[in-house]
A and B are shown apart, each in its own frame.
Chain A
Amino acid sequence: MTSASRTGRFTPYIFLLPGALLFTTFMIYPLADAFRISLLDWKIMPGAVSPFVGAENYARAFNDPIFWQALKNTLLYAAITVPAQMALAMLVAVALDVVPRGRVIFRTLFYLPVITSWVVVALLFRYLFDASEGGIINFLLMALGLAKEPIAWLREPGSAMFAIMALGVWKGIGWSMVIFLAALQTIPPELHEAAEIDGATSAQRFFGITLPLLRPTIVFVMVTLLIGGFNVFISIYLMTGGGPLHRTESILTYMYDQAFNQLQFGYAAALSYILAIIVFLVSALQIKFLRSPTEM
């Protein structure tokens, strides 16, 4: 492996040390500690003993209707925003792949929401979806005759979830699009030309050539977006705070509320482990569908 004989025994470890130290302290240890905490009835008072309760915190989740609501919202968010982002991103990427000019400027414009912080865009969408007649979405809907009176978007669970998902899709399209576009540009144009000569329509070429060649990229994007979707937090936290009455809660907003407002650290740690298991299963699917990630 190593080319030179000069490698001291400790040299590799010196290179690893700073990273390993931070990584172990702030990632590996917390991962183990979160599991330990999830088995305790955590007392925040310094010096207080936190009794071991086994799987009680996990059992509590299964009997907690708000947990089920949060899980349902999280899955619904992922199930709707992921395909929506991917389909729209693919349309844009295919169009950008064939236009003769303007690719860089369009790519930049579609990417702008991606690089903008979640805090800013969540506040921006709160403002756009303002309940009053002066809220721009309400104004446009009423001007187009689609609504008779202003909609209290963020105060009703259904419309609030819609606004939260609209933000997720709008912010995410650019990321998938950039990756799809890069993958599209690796497809040799000869393939399409040959198919065209054989009389294939553009739809046939898309489903017969483009999609199969993009399969690994599509799986990668899908898994990454699913994981991102399961982790939805800041948008809900800042747009509705999980309300009204926990109806727009996601697993993470509920976990955060249990931890830092209710000070139920044990229960919150159990909630975060349940989410981690879901995410881990999805990631395992990725490894199954893609080649080994070491080759990435």
Chain B
Amino acid sequence: MTRRVPITRTVFLLIALTLGAAVMIAPFLYMISTSLKGQIYVLDVPPQFIPKQPTLQNYIDAWQSNNFALYFANSLIVAVATTIGTALISAMFAYALARFSFRGRSVAFYAVLIMLMVPGLMLIIPQFILATKLGLRNSLPGLVFVYIATSLPLNVFLLRGFFEQLPRELEDAVLIDGGNHFTVFFRVALPLSTPALATVAIFSFLFSWDEFTWALTAIDDMAKRTLPVAIATFQGQYVTQWGLVFAASLIAIIPVIIIFVALQRFFIKGLTAGAVRG
């Protein structure tokens, strides 16, 4: 795998990579630093890279003010519901495409394919009108339905490819033993697809946890806000209390980073699935 590279070049590359990584990380470090500063220090001249009087007050204020705990809970409910819904519904859809021949199969396939190319935001006006008609404005289910529908095309493609590669023998054995296709799906296909499902789950969790525009548009009721909307309005609401904004942001980022670092291998696999083989 690794070719032998002269040691001087390795050292040079490592230094260059470290500098590059520093540029990527510096804004985050500065955000952490600012979140630990009192408001009077956030635009101090010269800037304090390391806060002279670090305080956790911003975190306490962020968590206690403005129903932040409620927004966190809303985001969590939406993200968990979207993740479970997307994984199950995309898997069922993908399984039908991968394992059955039926009338309308190619229509379903091409509908999904075309929707992969449609910019999500272009549907926001009709979605807004529809959600109003169906009574789905200001409701967390209204967010979840749209999120599942939005993430369906990509995940169907990912899972369909995976299901097609599963050996059929195990499934046939269950069918011969008198099981039906639902037993096959739940007892054989899904358990064998854990890596692909993990990828789908991670992507849908992050997507719904971070989604901003639909949540901003569909929700007016403050009690139904999710974190990204809450953080964005935090910024507009006060004469930008940067320490507070970043403390809130960091609270929102932490679950994402934990998930990414813990499940990185599924993540990378899913990202590169379509791209590299293509």
In the complex, A46 Cα to B240 Cα: how many Å? 38
* A19-B156 contact given A109-B24, A119-B228, A220-B278, CB 8 Å threshold: yes
Among B99, B260, B275, point to the contact of A217 (Cβ < 8 A). B275
| Overall SS of chain B's interface | helix
CB distance from B156 to the nearest CB of A (A): 7
Q: Is the CB of A179 within 8 A of B261?
A: no
| Contact assessment for A133 and B45 in the assembled complex, using a CB-CB cutoff below 8 Å | yes
Q: Does B239 count as interface, using CB distance less than 8 angstroms? A: no
Known A98-B3, A116-B256, A189-B1: A22·B13 in contact at CB below 8 Å: no
**Which of A12, A100, A117, A238 is the one whose CB lies under 8 Å from B252?**
A117
- Asked if A22 contacts B129 (CB within 8 A), the reply is no
Contact of B274 among A3, A259, A296 (CB under 8 A): A296
Interface residues on A, range: 35 or more
What's the interface size class on B, roughly? 35 or more
A91 nearest CB across to chain B (Å): 8
What is the CB-to-nearest-CB distance from B137 to chain A, in angstroms, rounded to a whole number?
13
Name the A residues within 8 Å of B232 (CB-CB): 119, 123, 238
A3 CA to B102 CA in the complex, in Å? 13
The reply on A207 being an interface residue by CB < 8 A is no
A3-B175, A275-B122 are known contacts. Are A296 and B14 too (CB-CB below 8 A)? no
Q: Which residues from A are CB-within-8-Å of B148?
A: 22
| Contact A123 B275, beta carbon cutoff 8 Å | no
Q: How far is the CA of A18 from the CA of B175 in the complex (A)?
A: 24
Q: Per a CB cutoff under 8 Å, which of A127, A170, A178, A283 touches B272?
A: A178
Q: List 7 A-B contacts (CB under 8 A).
A: A11-B181, A22-B149, A109-B24, A124-B31, A124-B246, A175-B271, A279-B117
Residues of B in contact with A (beta carbons under 8 Å apart): 1-3, 5, 9-10, 13-14, 16-17, 20-21, 23-25, 27-28, 30-31, 34, 42-47, 88-90, 92-93, 95-96, 99-102, 105, 108-109, 111-113, 115, 117-130, 145-146, 148-150, 152-153, 156-157, 161, 168, 171-172, 175-176, 180-181, 185, 206, 209-210, 212-213, 217, 228, 231-232, 235, 240, 242, 245-246, 249, 252-253, 256-257, 260-261, 264, 268, 271-272, 274-278
